């Protein structure tokens, strides 16, 4: 048995897993958020190979990914790989994942970066449609190469940025800022055109949104995955004043329902 665990905000990581599965039929996919809050550890003892596919946040793995990786017990014989799904710069993300696994007596055999459309609407607009499709086409090809690597259980391949970037962006910026992300949801606001459809609540992977008086309210535990703001059908959610004029992004091959499935069976945090 082989498993791939994923976390996604806007679907790029989920799309990556689905592409991988088309190349690696012996694998099955599992949502990491379904597992992370359980008191018992995920039983992966019977897995020959274990994969992780998470987006890159602030030049490192999301907090929830680190938390999830820390719950695993990986044995020496098991083959492990990680794909950091990023929007432009991976920096030293793979090394962070490697260190988290090592700290828990595990290991990482191989780590890859995959450039997908950037979704960080609080910093920039998503790329134009043609660029999105081009990146997806390029990633499809790269995933076939990565799958071949995994099939042959090849080890020792770890992608990363340059030394200065790794040191500055992951070594300093990520370490300094990643723990501040949960508080970013204080800046979400909802405009009057909200139609109370509750999609924002449904797609939030960590159940950080509740609906009161037909309007969303954000709690204090946010992964900053941006699923809420990116999937509101009437673009009623803003993050401060920055996002008003920016268009929204969800991976064009992933549905809202699929995003919702990510947290099925997960207890609410509110
Ligand atoms: C809070 C946040 C921080 C991000 N930081 C980075 C980053 O450091 N480097 C990068 O290349 N992309 C960064 N991105 C872009 C995402 O990693 C990228 O769009 C990814 O494909 C999103 O995956 P998803 O659709 O599975 O959520 C960031 C996105 C968010 C929401
Ligand atoms: S997704 Fe948008 S329209 Fe629907 S409840 Fe949330 S804010 Fe309102
Ligand atoms: S509140 Fe929004 S940005 Fe934060 S974790 Fe939920 S969906 Fe993601």
Reduce the DSSP state of residue 99 to 3 states and report it: helix
Band the pLDDT of 35: cuts 50, 70, 90: confident
80 touches 106 (CB < 8 A): yes
Ligand 3, residue 223: give the atom nearest the CA.
5
Residue whose C-alpha is closest to residue 116's, from 15, 247, 245, 261:
15
Residue whose C-alpha is closest to residue 226's, from 207, 200, 252, 244:
200
Q: What would you report as the CA-atom Rg of the chain, rounded to the nearest whole angstrom?
A: 18
For the cut 70, the answer to whether the pLDDT of residue 194 exceeds it is: yes
Q: List, for residues 88-147, the tens digit of each pLDDT value.
A: 999 999 999 999 999 999 999 999 999 999 999 999 999 999 999 999 999 999 999 999
Q: What is the pLDDT of residue 162?
A: 94
CA 140 to chain centre: 18
CB of 60 sitting under 6 A from ligand 1:
no
Instruction: Give the mean pLDDT of 207-211.
Output: 96
For a ligand 2 pocket test, name from 191, 200, 235, 260 the mutation site with the most ligand atoms within 8 angstroms of its C-beta.
200
Q: Which residues pair with 189 in a beta bridge?
A: 238
For the cut 90, the answer to whether the pLDDT of residue 155 exceeds it is: yes
Distance 55 CA to ligand 1 centre (A): 6
Instruction: Give the mean pLDDT of 70-99.
Output: 96
Instruction: Give the mean pLDDT of 19-46.
Output: 88
- pTM of the complete model: 0.96
Instruction: Give the mean pLDDT of 170-183.
Output: 96
* 212 DSSP assignment: E
Average pLDDT of the chain, as a whole number: 94
Beta strands 110-115 and 157-158, pairing class: parallel
Better pLDDT: 250 or 37: 250
Q: What is the pLDDT of residue 266?
A: 44
Q: Look up tokens 């300093």; give the residue.
A: 172
Q: Which ligand is nearest to the CA of 211?
A: 2
Count of other CB atoms within 10 angstroms of residue 94: 28
Count of other CB atoms within 10 angstroms of residue 43: 8
Distance 253 CA to ligand 2 centre (A): 21
Q: List, for residues 36-67, the tens digit of each pLDDT value.
A: 877 677 789 899 999 999 999 999 999 999 99
Where are any strands of DSSP class E within the chain?
Answer: 2-6, 27-31, 49-55, 79-86, 110-115, 157-158, 188-190, 209-212, 215-218, 237-239
Q: Which residues pair with 52 in a beta bridge?
A: 5, 82
CB of 198 sitting under 6 A from ligand 2:
yes
Q: What is the pLDDT of residue 11?
A: 98
Distance 188 CA to ligand 2 centre (A): 12
Reduce the DSSP state of residue 185 to 3 states and report it: helix
For a ligand 2 pocket test, name from 191, 196, 243 the mutation site with the most ligand atoms within 8 angstroms of its C-beta.
196
Q: What is the pLDDT of residue 75?
A: 94
């Amino acid at each position: 048995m082989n498993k791939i665990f994923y976390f996604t905000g806007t679907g790029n990581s989920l799309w990556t897993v689905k592409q991988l599965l088309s190349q690696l039929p012996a694998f099955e996919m599992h949502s990491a958020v379904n597992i992370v809050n359980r008191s018992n550890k995920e039983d992966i003892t019977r897995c020959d190979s274990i994969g992780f596919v998470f987006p890159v946040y602030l030049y490192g793995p999301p907090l929830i990914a680190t938390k999830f990786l820390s719950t695993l017990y990986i044995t020496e014989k098991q083959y492990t790989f990680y794909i950091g799904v990023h929007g432009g710069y991976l920096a030293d993300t793979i090394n962070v994942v490697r260190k988290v696994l090592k700290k828990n007596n595990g290991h990482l055999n191989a780590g890859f970066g995959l450039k997908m459309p950037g979704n960080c609407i609080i910093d920039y607009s998503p790329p134009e449609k043609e660029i999105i499709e081009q990146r997806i086409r390029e990633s499809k090809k790269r995933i076939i190469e990565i799958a071949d690597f995994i099939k042959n259980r090849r080890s020792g391949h770890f992608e990363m940025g340059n030394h200065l970037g790794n040191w500055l962006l992951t070594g300093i910026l990520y370490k300094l800022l990643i723990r501040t992300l949960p508080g970013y949801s204080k800046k979400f606001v909802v405009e009057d055109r909200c139609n109370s459809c509750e999609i924002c609540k449904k797609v939030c992977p960590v159940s950080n949104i509740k609906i009161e008086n037909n309007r969303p309210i954000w709690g204090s535990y946010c992964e900053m995955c941006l699923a809420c703001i990116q999937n509101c059908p009437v673009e009623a959610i803003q993050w401060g004043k920055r996002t008003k004029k920016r268009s929204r992004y969800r991976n064009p091959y992933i549905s809202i329902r699929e995003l919702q499935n990510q947290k099925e069976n997960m207890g609410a945090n509110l």
